[in-house]
C-alpha cells in the first residue's frame, strides 16, 4: 500500500480543455482567464476576480492595492505558510506576528487587537487548513481601527463562515491553485474583491502597471495567469464542491475511527464549514511515540504524512534576527506537535480503514 499525503485529481476533461487552448494558439492571457475570473468570483459571491500566476502574487498584489508600503505594519498569524508574511515583506512593510487559537489553529483576534500600533495598516487572516478564521471578530477590529482586511484563502476554496463563502469578507480574498490545493491549475492564484476601484488597481499591478498598450502608469509586475492554467481552473471549479465533500467525508471517517491516547483530532468551531485542505492532528505527551518516530512508522507502512508547519514564521531564519522568538508560544508549540494525515478526495474506503487501523495499533 502506498498512500501519498496529496494526489492531484486531473481527468480527461482538464486534458481536453488544455489541448483546446494549445490548439487555439492563444497561450498567454485571453478569453479563458476572463471566463475563469467571472466564474470564480460568482462562486465566491464576490463582484470581481483577478487571476494571478500564483497565490503569493495574489497576496502581494492585494497588499499593494491596499497601499501597503515602506514603514507600514501588517498583522499576520505566526502559524501559516511563509507567503502570508513574505508577501508583506515584498511590499517593504513589516509583518507583525500574532499567535493563533490552539484548537482551531487560526488567528487569535484578541492578540490582533493588542498588536495594533499607529503604523498598522492591515491584517491578514488565514483560513488555515480549510477552516475559516473568526471572521466577524477580526472584521470588527479592522473596522474600528480603519485597517484593511485581507483573507488568505489559499487553503480554503469553498469554505463557509456562517453559511457564506470565504473570499468576500475582507477588502481582498487571496487564493492559490497550487498543485496540491483543493482545486488546482498547477500554479495559479486569484484575488476576489467587491470594489471596482480595487479590481482596477489589481489589473494594473498584475500587468506591469499598464493602463493602455505600452503606457505604464504605476509600478506593476507580470503576475498574469495563462489561458492554459485558466482552462484547468474552469473545469476544476465545477468539481470543487464534490471534492470538498469527499474531503469532509474522509475527515468524518477519521473522526469516528481514530482513537489513540494523546492523539487530538481537529476541532471545528461553530458556524465553520471546514473543507479540510489538510487534516491536522496533534500529538500530546500521552501519545505513545515521538512525532518523528510516528512519521517513520507510518512511512514504513506506506502512509505519507507531512508537518504543516515545522517552524513558526517568527522563528524562520528569514525573520528570526528581527523578531522575538517567544512572541507566539501557541504557534511554537503547534509546530512541535502537529501532523497532517492524507485527506485528499482520491482516498478510498480501504485506504482510510488501513490508515486508521495502522494508527490505532500504535502503542
Q: Which is nearer to ligand PLP, 224 or 287 (CB)?
A: 224
Closest CB to ligand PLP belongs to which residue? 55
Length of the chain as a residue count? 363
- State the nearest-atom distance from the C-beta of 86 to ligand PLP, in Å: 9
Binding mask 331-360 for ligand PLP (x = CB under 6 A): ------------------------------
> 31-44 vs 227-257: helix axis angle to the nearest 10?
30
Q: Which is nearer to ligand PLP, 109 or 125 (CB)?
A: 125
- State the nearest-atom distance from the C-beta of 268 to ligand PLP, in Å: 18
Structural contact between residues 58 and 191, judged by C-beta atoms closer than 8 angstroms: yes
Considering only the stretches 79-87, 227-235, 237-245, 315-323, report the one whose residues sit in contact with ligand PLP under the rule CB under 6 A: 79-87
Listed residue (251, 256, 255) closest to 274, CA to CA: 251
Listed residue (342, 136, 134, 158) closest to 241, CA to CA: 158
- Of 17, 18, 126, 205, the one binding ligand PLP by CB under 6 A: 126
Q: Does 85 bind ligand PLP (CB under 6 A)?
A: no
Q: Does 155 bind ligand PLP (CB under 6 A)?
A: yes
67 φψ region: left (φ > 0), alpha (ψ -120 to 50), beta (else): left
- State the nearest-atom distance from the C-beta of 61 to ligand PLP, in Å: 12
Q: Which of residues 173-232 bind ligand PLP (CB under 6 A)?
A: 176, 178, 189
Query: What residues contact residue 201 under an 8 Å CB cut-off, 6+ apart?
Result: 64, 65
**Residue that the C-alpha cell 501597503 belongs to:** 68
Euclidean distance between CA atoms 314 and 85, whole angstroms: 9
Q: Which is nearer to ligand PLP, 90 or 234 (CB)?
A: 90
Q: Which is nearer to ligand PLP, 84 or 314 (CB)?
A: 84
Q: Does 29 bind ligand PLP (CB under 6 A)?
A: no
- Of 152, 246, 248, 347, the one binding ligand PLP by CB under 6 A: 152
DSSP state of 222: B
- Of 76, 142, 154, 237, the one binding ligand PLP by CB under 6 A: 154
Q: Which is nearer to ligand PLP, 109 or 189 (CB)?
A: 189
Q: Which of residues 39-58 bind ligand PLP (CB under 6 A)?
A: 54-56
Q: Which is nearer to ligand PLP, 253 or 276 (CB)?
A: 276
Q: What is the largest CA-CA distance in the chain?
A: 67
Question: Cα dihedral sign for 283, 288, 293, 296?
Answer: negative
Phi and psi torsions of 338, nearest 5°: -85, 155
Structural contact between residues 213 and 18, judged by C-beta atoms closer than 8 angstroms: no
- The C-alpha cell at 30 is 485571453
Pairing of strands 210-212, 215-216: antiparallel
Euclidean distance between CA atoms 1 and 232, whole angstroms: 30
**Residue that the C-alpha cell 499591478 belongs to:** 205
Total Cβ atoms within 10 A of residue 194: 19
Count of residues that bind ligand PLP according to CB under 6 A: 14
Structural contact between residues 63 and 93, judged by C-beta atoms closer than 8 angstroms: yes
Q: Does 79 bind ligand PLP (CB under 6 A)?
A: no
Q: Which is nearer to ligand PLP, 294 or 315 (CB)?
A: 315
- Of 33, 62, 75, 80, the one binding ligand PLP by CB under 6 A: 80
Residues that bind ligand PLP (CB under 6 A): 54-56, 80-81, 83-84, 126, 152, 154-155, 176, 178, 189
Amino acid at each position: 500500500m502506498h498512500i501519498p499525503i496529496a494526489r492531484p485529481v486531473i481527468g480527461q476533461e482538464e486534458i481536453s480543455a488544455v489541448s483546446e487552448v494549445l490548439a487555439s494558439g492563444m497561450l498567454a492571457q485571453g478569453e479563458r482567464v476572463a471566463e475563469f475570473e467571472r466564474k470564480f468570483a460568482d462562486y465566491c459571491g464576490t463582484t470581481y476576480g483577478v487571476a494571478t500566476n500564483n497565490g503569493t502574487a495574489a497576496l502581494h498584489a492585494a497588499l499593494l492595492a491596499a497601499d501597503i508600503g515602506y514603514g507600514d505594519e501588517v498583522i499576520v498569524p505566526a502559524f501559516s505558510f511563509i507567503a502570508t508574511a513574505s508577501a508583506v515583506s515584498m511590499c517593504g512593510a513589516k509583518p507583525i506576528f500574532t499567535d493563533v487559537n490552539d484548537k482551531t489553529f487560526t488567528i487569535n483576534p484578541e492578540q490582533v487587537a493588542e498588536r495594533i500600533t499607529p503604523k498598522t495598516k492591515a491584517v491578514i487572516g488565514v483560513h488555515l487548513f480549510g477552516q475559516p478564521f473568526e471572521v466577524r471578530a477580526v472584521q470588527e477590529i479592522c473596522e474600528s481601527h480603519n485597517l484593511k482586511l485581507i483573507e488568505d484563502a489559499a487553503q480554503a476554496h469553498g469554505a463557509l463562515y456562517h453559511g457564506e463563502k470565504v473570499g468576500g469578507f475582507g477588502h481582498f480574498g487571496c487564493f492559490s491553485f497550487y498543485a496540491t490545493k483543493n482545486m488546482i491549475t498547477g500554479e495559479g492564484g486569484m484575488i476576489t474583491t467587491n470594489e471596482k476601484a480595487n479590481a482596477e488597481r489589481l489589473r494594473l499591478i498584475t500587468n506591469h502597471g499598464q493602463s493602455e498598450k505600452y503606457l505604464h502608469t504605476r509600478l506593476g509586475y507580470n503576475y498574469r495567469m495563462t489561458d492554459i492554467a485558466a482552462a484547468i481552473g474552469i473545469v476544476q471549479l465545477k468539481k470543487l464542491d464534490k471534492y470538498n465533500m469527499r474531503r469532509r467525508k474522509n475527515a468524518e471517517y477519521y473522526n469516528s475511527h481514530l482513537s489513540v491516547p494523546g492523539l487530538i483530532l481537529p476541532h471545528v468551531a461553530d458556524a465553520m464549514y471546514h473543507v479540510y485542505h489538510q487534516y491536522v492532528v496533534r500529538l500530546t505527551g500521552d501519545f505513545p511515540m515521538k512525532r518523528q518516530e510516528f512519521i517513520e512508522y507510518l512511512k514504513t507502512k506506506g502512509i505519507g504524512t507531512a508537518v504543516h508547519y515545522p517552524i513558526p514564521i517568527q522563528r524562520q531564519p528569514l525573520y528570526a534576527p528581527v523578531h522575538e522568538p517567544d512572541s507566539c508560544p501557541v504557534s511554537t508549540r503547534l509546530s512541535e506537535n502537529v501532523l497532517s494525515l492524507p485527506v485528499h478526495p482520491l482516498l478510498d474506503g480501504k485506504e482510510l480503514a488501513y490508515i486508521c487501523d495502522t494508527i490505532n495499533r500504535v502503542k
